Amino acid sequence: MSKLFKAFLFTSFLASPFAAIADVTVASWGGAYTESQIKAYVDTYDAATVRFENYNGGLGEIKAQVDSGNIAWDIADVLPSNAITGCDEGLFEDLGAQGQYDNFIPAADGTSMEDDVAANSIATGDMPSCCVPQIFWSYVVFYDPDAFSGPKPSTVTDFFDVEKFPGKRGIHTWANANVEMALLSDGVKPGGIYKVLENQTGALDRAFGVLDKIKDHVVFWSSGAKPLELVKSGEVVMSIAYNGRIGAANLSEGENFEYIWDSQVIEEEYLCMLKGTPNYDEALAWMIHATSPTSQAEQAKYIPYSPMRASADPIIAAGEPWFHNGQTVLNHMPNTPERMKISVIANPEFWDENGTEIGERFSAWMGN
Protein backbone atom coordinates (compact mmCIF):
# COMPACT_ATOMS: atom_id res chain seq x y z
CA MET A 1 0.00 0.00 0.00
CA SER A 2 1.45 3.39 -0.94
CA LYS A 3 2.23 6.02 1.68
CA LEU A 4 -0.12 8.40 -0.13
CA PHE A 5 -3.02 5.95 0.09
CA LYS A 6 -2.26 5.24 3.74
CA ALA A 7 -2.32 8.98 4.46
CA PHE A 8 -5.65 9.29 2.66
CA LEU A 9 -7.17 6.42 4.59
CA PHE A 10 -5.95 7.79 7.91
CA THR A 11 -7.09 11.34 7.33
CA SER A 12 -10.41 10.16 5.88
CA PHE A 13 -11.01 8.07 8.99
CA LEU A 14 -10.45 11.11 11.20
CA ALA A 15 -13.33 12.94 9.54
CA SER A 16 -15.76 10.22 8.52
CA PRO A 17 -15.53 6.55 7.62
CA PHE A 18 -18.01 7.24 4.82
CA ALA A 19 -16.20 10.22 3.23
CA ALA A 20 -15.38 9.43 -0.40
CA ILE A 21 -13.91 12.81 -1.33
CA ALA A 22 -11.51 14.82 0.80
CA ASP A 23 -12.51 18.29 1.97
CA VAL A 24 -9.03 19.64 1.27
CA THR A 25 -6.42 18.33 -1.17
CA VAL A 26 -2.81 19.52 -0.96
CA ALA A 27 -0.21 18.98 -3.69
CA SER A 28 3.27 18.52 -2.25
CA TRP A 29 6.61 16.88 -2.94
CA GLY A 30 6.22 13.43 -1.39
CA GLY A 31 8.68 11.37 0.60
CA ALA A 32 9.92 12.35 4.05
CA TYR A 33 8.79 15.94 3.50
CA THR A 34 5.13 15.11 2.91
CA GLU A 35 5.25 12.57 5.73
CA SER A 36 6.37 15.38 8.06
CA GLN A 37 3.54 17.60 6.83
CA ILE A 38 0.97 14.89 7.46
CA LYS A 39 2.25 14.27 10.99
CA ALA A 40 2.52 17.96 11.89
CA TYR A 41 -0.46 19.46 10.07
CA VAL A 42 -2.94 16.64 9.40
CA ASP A 43 -2.66 14.32 12.38
CA THR A 44 -3.14 17.40 14.61
CA TYR A 45 -6.22 18.64 12.73
CA ASP A 46 -9.78 17.37 12.85
CA ALA A 47 -11.87 20.19 11.36
CA ALA A 48 -11.80 18.65 7.89
CA THR A 49 -10.43 15.71 5.97
CA VAL A 50 -7.06 16.58 4.40
CA ARG A 51 -5.23 14.46 1.86
CA PHE A 52 -1.93 14.94 0.07
CA GLU A 53 -1.02 14.21 -3.53
CA ASN A 54 2.51 14.18 -4.92
CA TYR A 55 3.52 16.45 -7.77
CA ASN A 56 6.78 17.46 -9.45
CA GLY A 57 6.57 21.20 -8.89
CA GLY A 58 6.16 23.97 -11.41
CA LEU A 59 2.98 25.72 -12.48
CA GLY A 60 1.94 23.64 -15.49
CA GLU A 61 -0.65 21.44 -13.80
CA ILE A 62 -1.81 24.28 -11.56
CA LYS A 63 -2.42 26.50 -14.58
CA ALA A 64 -4.26 23.70 -16.39
CA GLN A 65 -6.59 23.20 -13.44
CA VAL A 66 -7.29 26.90 -12.96
CA ASP A 67 -7.79 27.60 -16.67
CA SER A 68 -10.18 24.67 -17.08
CA GLY A 69 -12.05 25.34 -13.84
CA ASN A 70 -11.48 21.69 -12.92
CA ILE A 71 -9.73 22.18 -9.58
CA ALA A 72 -8.32 18.93 -8.21
CA TRP A 73 -5.90 20.52 -5.74
CA ASP A 74 -7.06 23.13 -3.27
CA ILE A 75 -3.55 24.04 -2.12
CA ALA A 76 -0.08 23.61 -3.60
CA ASP A 77 3.27 23.66 -1.83
CA VAL A 78 5.42 25.82 -4.13
CA LEU A 79 8.84 27.39 -4.51
CA PRO A 80 9.05 31.17 -4.10
CA SER A 81 9.68 31.90 -7.79
CA ASN A 82 6.57 29.88 -8.66
CA ALA A 83 4.65 31.69 -5.92
CA ILE A 84 5.61 35.06 -7.41
CA THR A 85 4.69 34.00 -10.95
CA GLY A 86 1.49 32.30 -9.83
CA CYS A 87 0.40 35.38 -7.91
CA ASP A 88 1.17 37.65 -10.86
CA GLU A 89 -0.73 35.41 -13.28
CA GLY A 90 -3.78 35.04 -11.05
CA LEU A 91 -3.35 31.30 -10.47
CA PHE A 92 -3.71 31.61 -6.70
CA GLU A 93 -6.26 33.19 -4.41
CA ASP A 94 -4.85 36.55 -3.31
CA LEU A 95 -5.19 36.02 0.43
CA GLY A 96 -3.33 39.21 1.24
CA ALA A 97 -5.51 41.44 -0.91
CA GLN A 98 -8.59 39.70 0.47
CA GLY A 99 -7.55 40.72 3.99
CA GLN A 100 -7.15 37.12 5.10
CA TYR A 101 -3.66 37.53 6.55
CA ASP A 102 -5.27 39.19 9.57
CA ASN A 103 -6.95 35.87 10.36
CA PHE A 104 -3.71 33.91 10.62
CA ILE A 105 -2.42 33.01 14.07
CA PRO A 106 0.01 35.59 15.49
CA ALA A 107 3.11 34.86 17.53
CA ALA A 108 2.73 34.52 21.29
CA ASP A 109 3.67 38.18 21.71
CA GLY A 110 1.04 39.29 19.20
CA THR A 111 3.36 39.73 16.23
CA SER A 112 1.44 39.21 12.99
CA MET A 113 2.28 36.35 10.65
CA GLU A 114 3.78 38.74 8.09
CA ASP A 115 6.00 40.47 10.63
CA ASP A 116 6.92 37.14 12.20
CA VAL A 117 8.27 35.93 8.86
CA ALA A 118 10.04 39.24 8.23
CA ALA A 119 11.77 38.89 11.61
CA ASN A 120 13.45 35.68 10.47
CA SER A 121 17.07 36.34 9.53
CA ILE A 122 16.79 34.26 6.36
CA ALA A 123 13.79 36.07 4.92
CA THR A 124 14.60 37.65 1.55
CA GLY A 125 11.80 40.23 1.59
CA ASP A 126 8.02 40.45 1.65
CA MET A 127 6.05 37.24 1.24
CA PRO A 128 4.33 36.71 -2.11
CA SER A 129 1.03 38.54 -1.64
CA CYS A 130 -1.20 35.54 -2.18
CA CYS A 131 0.63 32.75 -0.34
CA VAL A 132 1.57 31.82 3.22
CA PRO A 133 4.87 30.65 4.76
CA GLN A 134 6.04 27.08 5.14
CA ILE A 135 9.75 26.34 5.62
CA PHE A 136 13.33 27.25 4.87
CA TRP A 137 15.41 24.44 3.39
CA SER A 138 18.62 24.10 1.45
CA TYR A 139 20.37 22.43 -1.43
CA VAL A 140 23.53 21.03 0.16
CA VAL A 141 26.33 18.65 -0.85
CA PHE A 142 26.68 15.47 1.19
CA TYR A 143 28.58 12.19 1.16
CA ASP A 144 29.10 8.90 2.99
CA PRO A 145 32.34 9.20 4.99
CA ASP A 146 32.97 5.47 4.56
CA ALA A 147 33.45 6.09 0.83
CA PHE A 148 36.72 7.94 1.51
CA SER A 149 39.70 6.18 3.08
CA GLY A 150 41.88 9.30 3.04
CA PRO A 151 41.05 13.03 3.08
CA LYS A 152 37.37 13.81 2.89
CA PRO A 153 35.71 16.58 0.89
CA SER A 154 34.84 19.72 2.84
CA THR A 155 33.99 22.47 0.34
CA VAL A 156 31.85 22.97 -2.73
CA THR A 157 35.09 23.26 -4.72
CA ASP A 158 35.83 19.65 -3.78
CA PHE A 159 32.50 18.67 -5.31
CA PHE A 160 33.63 19.99 -8.70
CA ASP A 161 37.17 18.54 -8.44
CA VAL A 162 37.05 15.03 -9.84
CA GLU A 163 40.85 14.73 -9.87
CA LYS A 164 41.22 15.34 -6.14
CA PHE A 165 38.10 13.31 -5.33
CA PRO A 166 37.40 10.83 -8.15
CA GLY A 167 33.95 9.38 -8.63
CA LYS A 168 30.49 10.20 -9.84
CA ARG A 169 28.49 13.21 -8.67
CA GLY A 170 24.72 13.47 -8.21
CA ILE A 171 22.98 16.64 -9.33
CA HIS A 172 19.35 17.49 -9.94
CA THR A 173 17.75 18.03 -13.33
CA TRP A 174 17.06 21.78 -13.04
CA ALA A 175 19.34 24.79 -12.94
CA ASN A 176 18.58 26.30 -9.51
CA ALA A 177 21.50 25.89 -7.07
CA ASN A 178 23.60 24.07 -9.67
CA VAL A 179 24.41 27.45 -11.23
CA GLU A 180 25.04 29.15 -7.89
CA MET A 181 27.24 26.34 -6.57
CA ALA A 182 29.29 26.31 -9.76
CA LEU A 183 30.08 30.01 -9.37
CA LEU A 184 30.79 29.62 -5.67
CA SER A 185 33.33 26.90 -6.46
CA ASP A 186 34.95 29.32 -8.92
CA GLY A 187 35.58 31.96 -6.27
CA VAL A 188 32.41 34.08 -6.19
CA LYS A 189 31.46 35.01 -2.62
CA PRO A 190 28.04 33.93 -1.33
CA GLY A 191 26.83 37.51 -0.99
CA GLY A 192 27.84 38.38 -4.52
CA ILE A 193 26.28 35.56 -6.52
CA TYR A 194 23.30 37.41 -7.94
CA LYS A 195 25.25 40.62 -8.53
CA VAL A 196 27.61 38.59 -10.71
CA LEU A 197 24.78 36.80 -12.49
CA GLU A 198 22.87 40.01 -13.14
CA ASN A 199 25.73 42.35 -13.98
CA GLN A 200 28.76 40.48 -15.31
CA THR A 201 28.85 39.57 -18.97
CA GLY A 202 29.62 35.89 -19.37
CA ALA A 203 28.61 34.92 -15.84
CA LEU A 204 26.45 32.06 -17.06
CA ASP A 205 29.21 30.90 -19.40
CA ARG A 206 31.48 30.87 -16.37
CA ALA A 207 29.01 28.75 -14.40
CA PHE A 208 28.50 26.26 -17.22
CA GLY A 209 32.25 26.08 -17.66
CA VAL A 210 32.52 24.80 -14.10
CA LEU A 211 29.65 22.38 -14.65
CA ASP A 212 31.49 21.06 -17.71
CA LYS A 213 34.24 19.84 -15.37
CA ILE A 214 31.92 17.19 -13.96
CA LYS A 215 29.70 16.62 -17.00
CA ASP A 216 31.18 13.19 -17.74
CA HIS A 217 30.91 12.21 -14.09
CA VAL A 218 27.30 13.13 -13.38
CA VAL A 219 24.26 11.07 -12.43
CA PHE A 220 21.08 13.12 -12.63
CA TRP A 221 18.22 12.87 -10.16
CA SER A 222 14.75 14.40 -10.02
CA SER A 223 13.13 13.00 -6.86
CA GLY A 224 14.21 13.94 -3.35
CA ALA A 225 14.89 10.37 -2.23
CA LYS A 226 17.14 9.51 -5.17
CA PRO A 227 20.40 11.23 -4.13
CA LEU A 228 20.36 9.35 -0.83
CA GLU A 229 19.99 6.09 -2.74
CA LEU A 230 22.83 7.07 -5.09
CA VAL A 231 25.24 7.88 -2.26
CA LYS A 232 24.27 4.92 -0.08
CA SER A 233 24.70 2.46 -2.97
CA GLY A 234 28.07 3.94 -3.94
CA GLU A 235 26.89 4.87 -7.42
CA VAL A 236 28.04 8.40 -6.66
CA VAL A 237 30.58 9.56 -4.07
CA MET A 238 28.91 12.92 -3.49
CA SER A 239 25.58 14.50 -4.35
CA ILE A 240 23.58 17.65 -3.96
CA ALA A 241 20.38 16.97 -2.01
CA TYR A 242 17.78 18.61 0.20
CA ASN A 243 19.14 19.09 3.70
CA GLY A 244 15.96 17.76 5.30
CA ARG A 245 16.10 14.49 3.41
CA ILE A 246 19.69 13.96 4.58
CA GLY A 247 18.81 14.88 8.15
CA ALA A 248 15.75 12.64 8.22
CA ALA A 249 17.88 9.71 7.03
CA ASN A 250 20.47 10.34 9.73
CA LEU A 251 17.97 10.96 12.53
CA SER A 252 15.28 8.42 11.66
CA GLU A 253 17.13 5.70 9.76
CA GLY A 254 20.53 5.64 11.45
CA GLU A 255 22.51 6.79 8.44
CA ASN A 256 25.84 8.58 8.89
CA PHE A 257 25.84 10.99 5.97
CA GLU A 258 28.07 14.06 6.25
CA TYR A 259 26.92 17.49 5.09
CA ILE A 260 29.16 19.98 3.32
CA TRP A 261 27.45 23.13 4.54
CA ASP A 262 29.90 25.31 2.65
CA SER A 263 28.02 27.14 -0.11
CA GLN A 264 24.62 25.60 0.56
CA VAL A 265 21.78 27.41 -1.21
CA ILE A 266 18.87 28.21 1.11
CA GLU A 267 15.35 28.34 -0.31
CA GLU A 268 11.87 29.25 0.94
CA GLU A 269 8.67 27.25 0.54
CA TYR A 270 5.07 28.50 0.45
CA LEU A 271 1.52 27.21 0.58
CA CYS A 272 -0.76 28.75 -2.07
CA MET A 273 -4.49 28.24 -2.62
CA LEU A 274 -5.56 27.59 -6.21
CA LYS A 275 -7.81 30.25 -7.69
CA GLY A 276 -11.42 29.13 -7.88
CA THR A 277 -11.22 26.20 -5.48
CA PRO A 278 -14.71 25.17 -4.36
CA ASN A 279 -13.26 24.42 -0.91
CA TYR A 280 -12.05 27.94 -0.13
CA ASP A 281 -13.20 28.08 3.50
CA GLU A 282 -11.96 24.61 4.38
CA ALA A 283 -8.62 25.21 2.65
CA LEU A 284 -8.14 28.55 4.39
CA ALA A 285 -8.90 27.08 7.82
CA TRP A 286 -6.32 24.35 7.30
CA MET A 287 -3.72 26.84 6.05
CA ILE A 288 -4.24 28.92 9.20
CA HIS A 289 -3.56 25.80 11.26
CA ALA A 290 -0.53 24.70 9.22
CA THR A 291 1.20 28.09 9.40
CA SER A 292 0.91 28.65 13.14
CA PRO A 293 4.20 28.84 15.07
CA THR A 294 3.27 25.72 17.03
CA SER A 295 2.49 23.70 13.90
CA GLN A 296 5.66 24.80 12.14
CA ALA A 297 7.72 23.82 15.16
CA GLU A 298 5.90 20.47 15.18
CA GLN A 299 7.04 19.73 11.61
CA ALA A 300 10.67 19.96 12.74
CA LYS A 301 10.04 16.88 14.90
CA TYR A 302 9.95 14.84 11.71
CA ILE A 303 12.30 16.59 9.26
CA PRO A 304 15.02 19.17 9.95
CA TYR A 305 13.70 22.07 7.90
CA SER A 306 13.58 25.47 9.55
CA PRO A 307 10.21 27.16 10.16
CA MET A 308 9.61 30.43 8.33
CA ARG A 309 7.77 31.72 11.41
CA ALA A 310 10.56 33.20 13.56
CA SER A 311 8.55 32.59 16.72
CA ALA A 312 8.65 28.83 16.08
CA ASP A 313 12.42 28.67 16.56
CA PRO A 314 12.34 29.29 20.35
CA ILE A 315 9.71 26.57 20.69
CA ILE A 316 12.13 24.08 19.13
CA ALA A 317 15.13 25.33 21.12
CA ALA A 318 13.25 25.12 24.41
CA GLY A 319 12.09 21.60 23.62
CA GLU A 320 15.43 20.09 22.57
CA PRO A 321 16.00 17.24 22.07
CA TRP A 322 13.07 18.02 19.77
CA PHE A 323 13.14 15.28 17.13
CA HIS A 324 10.41 12.70 17.60
CA ASN A 325 12.83 9.95 18.60
CA GLY A 326 14.63 11.99 21.25
CA GLN A 327 17.52 13.39 19.21
CA THR A 328 18.52 17.01 18.84
CA VAL A 329 17.43 18.62 15.58
CA LEU A 330 18.83 22.15 15.51
CA ASN A 331 22.31 20.91 14.57
CA HIS A 332 20.76 19.55 11.35
CA MET A 333 19.13 22.86 10.42
CA PRO A 334 20.56 24.95 7.58
CA ASN A 335 20.33 28.29 9.37
CA THR A 336 22.76 28.22 12.30
CA PRO A 337 24.72 31.49 12.58
CA GLU A 338 27.94 29.80 11.45
CA ARG A 339 26.30 28.21 8.40
CA MET A 340 24.59 31.42 7.37
CA LYS A 341 28.02 33.03 6.87
CA ILE A 342 28.90 30.50 4.15
CA SER A 343 25.48 30.19 2.53
CA VAL A 344 23.67 31.69 -0.43
CA ILE A 345 20.13 32.89 0.16
CA ALA A 346 18.32 32.05 -3.09
CA ASN A 347 16.88 35.06 -4.89
CA PRO A 348 13.35 34.18 -6.07
CA GLU A 349 13.01 37.40 -8.10
CA PHE A 350 16.12 36.49 -10.10
CA TRP A 351 14.78 33.04 -10.85
CA ASP A 352 11.30 34.38 -11.61
CA GLU A 353 12.79 36.70 -14.24
CA ASN A 354 15.51 34.44 -15.63
CA GLY A 355 14.53 30.89 -14.75
CA THR A 356 13.00 29.96 -18.10
CA GLU A 357 16.03 31.02 -20.12
CA ILE A 358 18.56 29.48 -17.76
CA GLY A 359 16.46 26.34 -17.42
CA GLU A 360 16.40 25.86 -21.19
CA ARG A 361 20.15 26.22 -21.35
CA PHE A 362 20.60 23.75 -18.48
CA SER A 363 18.30 21.21 -20.16
CA ALA A 364 20.33 21.54 -23.36
CA TRP A 365 23.53 21.06 -21.35
CA MET A 366 22.17 17.87 -19.80
CA GLY A 367 21.28 16.50 -23.23
CA ASN A 368 24.61 17.22 -24.93
Q: Is the dihedral of CA 180, 173, 140, 36 positive or negative?
A: positive
Helix, coil or strand: residue 362: helix
Q: How far apart are CA 80 and CA 127, in angstroms?
A: 9
pLDDT interval class at 2 (50, 70, 90): very low
* Model pLDDT, residue 5: 37
DSSP E strands, 101-206: 131-143, 169-172
Residue 221 in contact with residue 227, Cβ under 8 Å? yes
Tell whether the model's pLDDT for residue 139 goes beyond 80. Answer: yes
Share the mean pLDDT of the chain. Answer: 92
Cα dist from 162 to 119, 140, 175, 213, 257, whole Å? 41, 18, 20, 8, 20
Distance of alpha carbon 185 from alpha carbon 163, whole angstroms:
15
Above pLDDT 90, what percent of the chain? 89
Using the predicted structure, report yes or no on whether residue 64 has a pLDDT greater than 50: yes
Mean pLDDT of 17-43: 85
pLDDT tens digit sequence for 258-305: 999 999 999 999 999 999 999 999 999 999 999 999 999 999 999 999
- 13, pLDDT greater than 80: no
What average pLDDT score do residues 322-345 get?
A: 94
Q: CA-CA distances (angstroms) from residue 288 to 7, 22, 33, 103, 203?
A: 21, 18, 19, 8, 42
Question: For 231-246, how does the pLDDT look when each residue is reduced to its tens digit (9 = 90+)?
Answer: 999 999 999 999 999 9
**Residue 123: what pLDDT?**
60
Spatial CA neighbour of 283 closest among 6, 15, 21, 23: 23
Beta bridge partners of 219: 170
pTM of the full structure: 0.90
Q: Please, where are the H alpha helices in the chain?
A: 3-15, 31-37, 60-68, 80-88, 113-118, 156-159, 178-185, 193-199, 203-212, 226-233, 243-253, 280-290, 293-299, 313-319, 337-340, 348-367
- The mean pLDDT of 318-343, rounded to a whole number, is 95
Backbone angles phi, psi at 246, to 5 degrees: -65, -50
pLDDT attached to residue 19 = 40
pLDDT of 9 above 90: no
Q: For residue 240, what are the β-bridge partners?
A: 141
Instruction: Please say if the pLDDT value at position 192 is more than 90.
Output: yes
Distance CA 164, CA 179 (A): 21
- The amino acid present at 309, given as its one-letter code, is R
- As beta bridge partners, residue 297 has none
Nearest to 183 by CA among 171, 201, 196: 196
Residue 11: pLDDT band (50, 70, 90) is very low
Per-residue pLDDT of 82-138, as tens digits, reads: 999 999 999 999 999 999 999 999 999 999 999 999 888 676 667 888 999 999 999
Distances (CA, A) of 65 to 69, 70, 214, 285, 356: 6, 5, 39, 22, 21
Q: What is residue 1's predicted lDDT score, i.e. its pLDDT?
A: 39
pLDDT recorded at residue 121: 64
Asked if the peptide bond before residue 307 counts as cis, ω within 30 degrees of 0, the response is no
122, 104, 121: which is closest to 113 by C-alpha? Answer: 104
Cβ(224)–Cβ(33) below 8 Å: yes
